[in-house]
Amino acid sequence: MKTQMLFENGSHAWIMFGRDDEKTEKIIDTNQYMVVTSKNALLMDPGGIELFSAMLSAVIKQVPADKITHLFASHQDPDIISSLGLWDQALPNATLHSPWIWEGFIRHFGMENITYAPIPDEGRLLKIDNVNLEFIPAHYLHSSGNFNVYDGEAKILMSGDIGAALEAVDAPIYVEDFDEHIDKMKMFHQRWMPSNRAKNDWVKRVRKLDIDMMCPQHGRIFKGDNVKRFLDWFEALDVGVATNSG
């Protein structure tokens, strides 16, 4: 499991974990992100059961375990949060922020100690120490209850499955050539995302945000102009294509 510092200033840091070369081939590669503030840490989309040991090992190289007081699951998928039952044993005092519609489902992963803090459909703010984070609605992209995390100070948008690409475990962290990258993203967005309406609404809202880095849960990070390139490409893309009539 590789660790990459994405952003650091006096108040907080963004760290990415991913490119786990020990995982078995058939498991989709995932990126996990952590925001570290003065006294706490938020772990975002902590990943599947299979990843847990590698993740915990990587995380405690950065912060002590009891500092991880917040977890975030953008939606209910196994690659996002099936490790919950194990984190529940490791972090008994943490709070999990996740879409309200998934509470009854996500609890099936096993949650006896961690507290569930439901996020309403319209999103909400999360202040950790002096850092302000925002849960931005991204419903139907792809999950019907789904959020991104925006940090206005770091200008980072953690976009979950939006911007995801399927690629090799040794792929670079950042998108280098956007046009070349399209091939790795196209099928994922067309097949997993169900709604053009939801997609266009999200693009419209996200265009108004000041973003330096867009960080998806699979694949590579979009930096600088590549963020706008992605928004333009995504807006023009026809999604929800797997209807039977073709």
Contact residues toward other proteins (CB under 8 A) are 52-54, 56-58, 60-67, 85-86, 89-92, 110
Nearer to other proteins (CB atom), residue 91 or residue 215:
91
CB of 71 to other proteins, least distance (A): 15
Residue 186 CA to residue 236 CA, distance in Å, equals 11
Q: Residue 11: name its binding partner from other proteins, Fe ion, none (Cβ under 5 to 8 Å by kind).
A: none
Best CA proximity match to 33, nearest among 23, 45, 41:
45
Q: Residue 123: name its binding partner from Fe ion, other proteins, none (Cβ under 5 to 8 Å by kind).
A: none
Nearer to other proteins (CB atom), residue 54 or residue 117:
54
CB of 143 to Fe ion, least distance (A): 6
For residue 186, what are its two tokens? Answer: 């196209």
Q: Residue 8: name its binding partner from other proteins, Fe ion, none (Cβ under 5 to 8 Å by kind).
A: none
CB of 93 to other proteins, least distance (A): 10
Q: Is 62 exposed, middle or buried (0-12, 13-18, 19+ CB in 10 A)?
A: middle
Helix (H) or strand (E) holding 87: helix 84-90
CB of 230 to Fe ion, least distance (A): 17
For residue 5, what are its two tokens? Answer: 């510092």
Q: What is the CA radius of gyration of the chain?
A: 17
CB of 48 to Fe ion, least distance (A): 10
Q: Residue 67: name its binding partner from other proteins, Fe ion, none (Cβ under 5 to 8 Å by kind).
A: other proteins
- E strands within the chain? 2-8, 13-18, 32-36, 41-44, 68-72, 95-99, 115-119, 124-128, 131-137, 147-151, 156-160, 213-216, 222-223
Residue 170 CA to residue 226 CA, distance in Å, equals 21
Q: Name the closest residue to Fe ion (Cβ).
A: 77
Q: Residue 54: name its binding partner from other proteins, Fe ion, none (Cβ under 5 to 8 Å by kind).
A: other proteins
CB of 240 to Fe ion, least distance (A): 15
Q: Residue 77: name its binding partner from Fe ion, other proteins, none (Cβ under 5 to 8 Å by kind).
A: Fe ion
Nearer to other proteins (CB atom), residue 9 or residue 89:
89
Nearer to other proteins (CB atom), residue 41 or residue 213:
41
Nearer to Fe ion (CB atom), residue 13 or residue 214:
214
**Cβ(217)–Cβ(245) below 8 Å:** no
What's the Cα-to-Cα distance from 246 to each of 196, 239, 241, rounded to whole Å? Answer: 16, 12, 7
